[in-house]
């Protein structure tokens, strides 16, 4: 993290977040072409690699994700719903936002059917849109470090609690599938990082060769697959 405090743009107005995130179900779980957010979280996490994510016009290509599920002891949903994690049990295709260590806001995408409790953590993106706003928010210039980690993603994209429970198919979110004419993205798969439980579950996904990952994968990753 930078040694000086980052500056911030004035927050854009956002819709009110319903107290019950299941009260207004999305008409569809497909908010970006080729991805069904009602699918298991590890499938969604893999397919999100290469998708462009914008929040209020700022963002870039998702290059790293992690999947979590209700039967996963590392997941916030493992012990059931609480006021803090309620959005994670809401309809698929919604945002779940939490604060890590009381400092960093982290962005997740809700998966599976309403009431299940699964999601995908956005661990890193390759910044491509709104770099100056990201640099101001992060207080640094090097593009490689702007969004290399979930807390950095949250800070660079201006994520906070106001986004919790909001649908991903409406402002301030924009999700854009990879163009058909772009080269196929290879996805490395391995154990998740920064957790103390279920540390061997291979539910971390990252674009092979990307210099924008939060951490490099092992020299010999567990699996390498196309993104779609």
- Range of weakest confidence among 25-29, 104-108, 181-185, 206-210: 25-29
What's the whole-model pTM score?
0.83
pLDDT at position 195: 81
pLDDT, tens digit, 9 for 90 and up, residues 125-153: 999 999 999 999 999 999 999 999 999 99
- Range of weakest confidence among 9-13, 85-89, 115-119: 9-13
Encoding tokens for residue 157?
Answer: 């994209």
Cβ-Cβ contacts under 8 Å for 81 (sequence gap 6 or more): 88, 89, 117
Chain center to CA of 28 = 19
Domain boundaries, the chain: 41-226
Q: Which residue has the higher pLDDT, 40 or 8?
A: 40
Q: Locate the DSSP E strands across 35-78.
A: 52-55, 58-68
Evaluate if residue 119 carries a pLDDT over 60.
yes
Which of the following CATH numbers is that of domain 41-226: 3.10.300.10, 3.30.420.10, 3.30.420.40, 3.40.1080.20?
Answer: 3.10.300.10
Distance CA 136, CA 121 (A): 24
The share of the chain scoring above pLDDT 90, in percent, equals 67
In the block, residue with structure tokens 């020299």: 219
pLDDT, tens digit, 9 for 90 and up, residues 65-79: 999 998 887 888 888
Distance CA 124, CA 152 (A): 8
pLDDT at position 86: 95
Closest CA to 13 of 168, 166, 176, 133: 166
Q: Indicate the pLDDT class of residue 225, thresholds 50, 70 and 90.
A: low
Distance CA 64, CA 124 (A): 5
Closest CA to 96 of 44, 46, 148: 44
The share of the chain scoring above pLDDT 70, in percent, equals 82
């Amino acid at each position: 993290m930078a040694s000086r405090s980052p500056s911030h743009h004035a927050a854009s107005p956002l819709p009110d977040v319903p107290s019950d995130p299941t009260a207004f179900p999305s008409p569809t779980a497909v908010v970006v072409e080729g991805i069904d957010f009602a699918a298991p979280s590890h499938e969604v996490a893999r397919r999100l690699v290469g998708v462009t994510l914008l929040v209020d016009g700022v963002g870039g290509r998702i290059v790293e994700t992690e999947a979590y599920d209700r039967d996963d002891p590392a997941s916030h949903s493992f012990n059931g719903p609480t006021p803090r994690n309620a959005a994670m049990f809401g309809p698929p295709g919604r945002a779940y936002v939490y604060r890590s260590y009381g400092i960093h806001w982290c962005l997740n995408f809700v998966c599976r059917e309403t009431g299940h409790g699964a999601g995908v953590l956005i661990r890193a993106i390759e910044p491509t849109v709104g770099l100056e706003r990201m640099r101001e928010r992060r207080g640094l210039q090097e593009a490689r470090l702007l969004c290399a980690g979930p807390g950095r993603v949250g800070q660079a994209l201006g994520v906070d609690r106001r986004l919790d429970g909001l649908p991903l198919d409406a402002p301030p979110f924009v999700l854009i599938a990879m163009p058909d004419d772009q080269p196929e993205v290879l996805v490395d798969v391995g154990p998740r990082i920064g957790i103390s439980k279920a540390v061997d579950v291979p539910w971390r996904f990252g674009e092979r060769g990307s210099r924008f990952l939060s951490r490099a994968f092992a020299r010999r990753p567990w699996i390498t697959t196309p993104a779609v």
